[in-house]
Chains A and B, each alone.
Chain A
Amino acid sequence: MIFELNGVNVIAELTTTVTLLDLLRTDFGLTSVKKGCEQGECGACTVLLDGMPVCSCLVLAPQVEGKRVTTIEGLSENPLMKELRDAFMENGAVQCGFCTPGMLLSSFALLRDNRHPTEDEVKVAIEGNICRCTGYVKIIEAILDAAEKISPD
């Protein structure tokens, strides 16, 4: 099976049926994609599928044939992602970090499509990402901060 992973066409040898989450972690070593609940509840496994956040634990690997999969590794040089990363660090929005890759991807998708989100829109965007550590306040502040930096008006 061929699909696009972080901007590069890759081949996956699928001998058995696994989830996209397992494929990314095991075959491609992308351990930023975290395995939490495997029930679609926690969002730690969030990836962008054709640009949209989905839980990779709820996608079967063969279902991404011909599609575009993006993890934070693929956005490391992206200006918007850099802004978000900085804002997360500056605002103390990271504690253990387990939720962070998923949070970054969900907030990236938000700010890509909506440069001036309200606090409520930020909350909706990260509703599917559970954080056990921060209590969300600093994460929300970080996302609003990044939004301000990318369009300062």
Chain B
Amino acid sequence: MRTLTGITLLKTHTLVGALEILSTLDKVQPIAGGTDLIPLIREVESKSTHFIDIYSIKELNGIYEESDSIIIGSTTTHSQLLSSKTVSEKIPALHDACSLIGSIQIRNRGTIGGNLCNASPAADSAPPLLVHDAEVNVSSLSKNQWMPLEEFFKGPKISALKSDELLIGIKVPISGNGCSAFKRIGRRKSFTLSIVNAAAFVERDGDSIKNLRLSIGSVAPTPLRMKKVEKEFIGSKLNHQTLTEIGQACSGQVNPIDDVRGTAEYRRDISSVLIKRALIEAWSRTGGK
């Protein structure tokens, strides 16, 4: 039997309790589903000596529909999101992403908050939430603030969280009659980190693009929004030519690296393919051809 060296698990059932522990103890890190953290603490000597289990805090779990937005608690699992009708109807790209994450075992345990806080450039829930203009609530004992998800990602594996803060929840505005979709390429279907992933949100006016938001992951230190490209093509008609142009424009905006999962050149090419696929799917979900 292997002991996980020097690790203790602290428990609390309230959010305030967790925030108090985070603000008073040194070297303490939240753990939710543990699907990112536990493999990590086996590999490297973890810098934390205490983990605080936030999985059993009821206030942090659930999907709530409000008049103008959907609130998702940070410990909501990928399985919960996948079976939510609210999510499949109002945030279809997130539903797509959850269906592709890991395996059932991973989806039953892994949480949306853990996926974002781990801040992997390949996190599959990031592009869907970015194209839905999601905000995240970050709190400590003394402060509670909403920030755009885009500002939450600071670098590879670096988020805006300070050591005494928790990600409480995610707010997704319900936006008009637009639709979204998510596509990814991984080594095997599902069950591995994406080599590249992409999401598109589009509102349609006849055959013209009324509103457009695009995001690509795993092609830069953080998941990216393609704001320049979006601006350029709002108002255009969507046809084969504009699709090709949007794909090309996006691959011009990305800044990928070579790694074991794929080369930079491959990533640049595939990001154009994936963003087109996501856009076509989102467009057809709005009823467009």
Q: Which residues of A are in contact with B by a Cβ distance under 8 Å?
A: 16-19, 22, 25-26, 38-41, 43, 46, 49, 52-55, 57-60, 62-63, 65, 106, 109, 124-125, 127-129
Find out whether the CB atom of B1 lies under 8 angstroms from the CB atom of A18: yes
Contacts of A40 in B (CB 8 A): 35, 38-39, 102, 105-106
Can you give 17 A-B contacts (C-beta < 8 A)? A18-B1, A22-B1, A22-B2, A38-B42, A39-B39, A41-B191, A43-B103, A52-B108, A53-B104, A54-B105, A58-B106, A60-B53, A63-B9, A63-B55, A65-B11, A109-B104, A127-B190
The contact of A17 among B7, B39, B102, B109, by CB within 8 Å, is B7
CB distance from B118 to the nearest CB of A (A): 14
Contacts of A52 in B (CB 8 A): 79, 108
Find out whether the CB atom of A18 lies under 8 angstroms from the CB atom of B104: no
Instruction: Knowing A63-B53, A128-B105, say if A17 contacts B34 (CB, 8 Å).
Output: no
B7, B56, B105, B190: most-surrounded residue (chain A CB, <10 A): B105
Contacts of A106 in B (CB 8 A): 104-105
Binary contact readout B181-218 vs A (1 if CB under 8 angstroms, 0 otherwise): 00000000011000000000000000000000000000
* Docked complex Cα distance between A109 and B104 (Å): 10
Q: Which residue of B lies closest to A102 (CB)?
A: B105
Find out whether the CB atom of B9 lies under 8 angstroms from the CB atom of A17: yes
Q: Which residue of A lies closest to B42 (CB)?
A: A38
Contacts of B33 in A (CB 8 A): 58
Find out whether the CB atom of A60 lies under 8 angstroms from the CB atom of B104: no
User: Is B246 engaged at the interface, CB distance under 8 Å to the other chain?
Assistant: no
* Docked complex Cα distance between A124 and B106 (Å): 12
Contacts beyond the supplied A40-B102, A53-B105: 8 A-B pairs with Cβ under 8 Å: A16-B3, A17-B7, A26-B1, A55-B109, A60-B38, A63-B9, A63-B55, A129-B103
